[in-house]
A = this chain, B = another copy of it.
């Protein structure tokens, strides 16, 4: 490879020129023809040379894009529910992301993942090559049934399907249940991607204020009576973004109201493992009559290993299985599911999660103190998880006018504005990805709030950058 590279670099082999035949080069270098074939193939994979079938290898006529193929710079765009996701997924590693929704790599069970990959390298061939069953790995489904039983959700195999991710589980439910124009209920504030997903489904959003103990029950009953939503999407135990926990009394009241209105509830329990003590769950309370439970391992095990799951009545699971075949030809990657199963059965996952909870408690406390010194006030101190939903300091920075739906600009902006601060952080020469309150708020009434990811906020230099953009 070095020989050919040098010749191309020195232009003794020019663009379009044919490379020496495999036999000739093998003789010249006194190596086997197989070695030359492999070297040529690697150079072709790098784009330096190209194969033409039946006629050998040629120097590539045109340089290929550089190895670090960055995402094309996104066009300037509104600070909408996609804004944080795009910035956080597309920013390079040097940009701190106190607004992102996942833990730093060194908080994840790295050693167990590496061990799992080495074990998978010895798995039976079908795991490495086949599509897998229509509901995903039987081994992982069995482990999940055991975990669900621990939580008080005793269900049979017909109630469970694996999906490509937690988000895909939610998308499948929406595809099954919703038609354009339907009404869907979410919390205010809620996870911004609920809004992005529901926009893709072309449904009408209504919202209910979220309090420290769940959705405001009176407002919940009122919106069910007037708006007749088909679905309600929520997180119970550690609400995103507020970190609040649903209380048993509110849980009971909203289940009764949902029952009376014939509305289905989707409980997204993706943060379940980060709770210090189990709290009430709608799915367990209701016994899956009108509550569908979804989850994944993205927040505690790996977001790279894409796999989610859905727990629902068997007729729903049956319909979702068809839908998964139509839209992605089956369940999640067997490799991904087996890797998760390896980590779950490896004997270290429970301790990893306990360590995570302890580290997160310290991290939330430290971040709350550090943010308080900058004038941010947490709306509440969450029992678990990694989010802090903080009120901005008064009067800092100046609010910017928000475009209104009537096209006029608002002449009486409220200050402070998290949107303005997040835009300023994005455009700074030392940028930061922040998560301004309004991207979580269907009514856009949370511009005085910001969601902070405690471990990312406590990474070196982040608070200094934040202080600088606030100056």
Contacts and interface: CB of A to CB of B under 8 A. Distances in A.
A108 B86 contact: no
Interface stretch (A129-137, A380-388, A429-437): A129-137
Interface in A73-114: 74-75, 82, 85-86, 89-90, 93, 102-103, 105-106, 108, 110, 113-114
Contact of A345 (B45, B85, B302, B325): B45
Contacts of A47: 142-143, 145-146, 149
A141 B47 CA distance: 12
Nearest to A343: B45
A133 B329 CA distance: 23
A463 interface: no
Nearest to A52: B150
A199 interface: yes
Nearest to A72: B158
A348 interface: yes
B89 A133 contact: yes
Nearest to A166: B329
Contact of A199 (B85, B113, B326): B326
Contacts of A156: 65
Contacts of A69: 138-139, 141-142, 145, 157
This protein's copies in its complex: 2
A225 B434 CA distance: 52
A197 B327 contact: yes
Contacts of A146: 44-47, 50, 60, 64
A71 B324 CA distance: 15
B303 A131 contact: yes
Contacts of A350: 37, 41, 44, 51
A122 interface: yes
B345 A128 contact: no
Interface string A341-364: 000111111110000000000000
A325 B191 CA distance: 13
B90 A329 contact: no
A41 B347 contact: yes
Given A85-B134, A134-B89, A326-B193, A117 B125 contact: no
A38 B132 CA distance: 29
A167 to B, nearest CB: 4
A305 interface: yes
A125 B106 contact: yes
A278 interface: yes
Nearest to A108: B129
A217 interface: no
Nearest to A138: B69
A351 B22 CA distance: 14
Contact of A75 (B74, B164, B318): B318
A130 B304 contact: yes
A62 interface: yes
Q: Which of A117, A139, A349 has the most CB of B within 10 A?
A: A117
Interface in A258-290: 277-278
A62 B149 contact: yes
A56 interface: no
A180 B201 CA distance: 12
Interface string A157-185: 11000001101100100010001100000
7 cross-chain pairs, A with B, having the tightest CB-CB distances, nearest first: A38-B347, A47-B146, A69-B138, A117-B121, A105-B125, A196-B326, A108-B129
Given A47-B146, A65-B156, 6 more contacts: A38-B348, A64-B142, A82-B322, A85-B134, A85-B329, A168-B328
12 contacts: A54-B277, A70-B138, A71-B133, A85-B325, A108-B125, A117-B117, A128-B305, A129-B304, A196-B326, A197-B327, A200-B323, A305-B333
